[in-house]
């Protein structure tokens, strides 16, 4: 069984912002797998289904970004999921718009949602799919940038990135983390 988490902030106010890239990627995967992610459970919205032969739980924490670990830990404990089977998809300002990076483990890299998940799980060793949202412009507040929406010229690029992130998460489940990294971390 796998827990696939998309990070973001709840409420309409934050829909489709840079910080909600993880929510958008989980929604793409949910559409692909025909899973409804509407059940209120584990301090989040969840849905259950199958990805090939594996059971998957899709989770969108509703705790706000900085407390995402509360929701992830609650779901992981409830379903008894090992940290190697918790896949987290989230926005990354260190990657160009639309670029992906699949990792087996790593530090928070300044991302407060990941920092909180690491604190709650007690490990950095869980797979993640980082979705590039681009670096913030000089003299712009980081919070304003990540809570802003993508300009129209970036929207189709990000739509493709969300689909690719969903494919990457599926590849981790079906083919393993090494195969997924080889496939999705190639230079284009």
Which residues participate in catalysis according to the annotation?
19
Asked if 184 and 102 touch (Cβ cutoff 8 Å), the reply is yes
Residues 6+ apart with CB under 8 A from 187: none
Contact 51, 33 (CB under 8 A): yes
3-state SS class at 108 = coil
CA distance 93 to 75: 27
Residues 6+ apart with CB under 8 A from 88: 5, 6, 7, 22, 72, 114, 117, 126, 127, 128, 129
């Amino acid at each position: 069984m796998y827990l696939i988490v998309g990070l973001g902030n709840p409420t309409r106010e934050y829909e489709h912002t840079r910080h909600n890239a993880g929510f958008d990627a989980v929604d793409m995967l949910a559409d692909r797998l025909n899973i409804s992610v509407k059940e209120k459970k584990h301090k989040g919205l969840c849905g259950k289904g199958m990805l090939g032969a594996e059971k998957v739980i899709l989770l969108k924490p509703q705790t706000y970004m900085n407390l995402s670990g509360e929701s992830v830990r609650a779901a992981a404990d409830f379903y008894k999921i090992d940290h190697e089977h918790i896949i987290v998809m989230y926005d990354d300002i260190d990657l160009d718009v639309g670029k992906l990076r699949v990792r087996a483990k790593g530090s928070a890299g300044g991302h407060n949602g990941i920092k909180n998940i690491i604190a709650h799980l007690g490990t950095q060793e869980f797979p993640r799919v980082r979705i590039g949202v681009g670096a913030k412009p000089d003299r712009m507040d980081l919070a304003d940038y990540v809570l802003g929406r993508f300009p129209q010229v970036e929207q189709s690029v990000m739509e493709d990135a969300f689909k690719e992130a969903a494919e990457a998460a599926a590849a981790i489940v079906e083919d393993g983390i090494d195969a997924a990294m080889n496939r999705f971390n190639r230079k284009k």
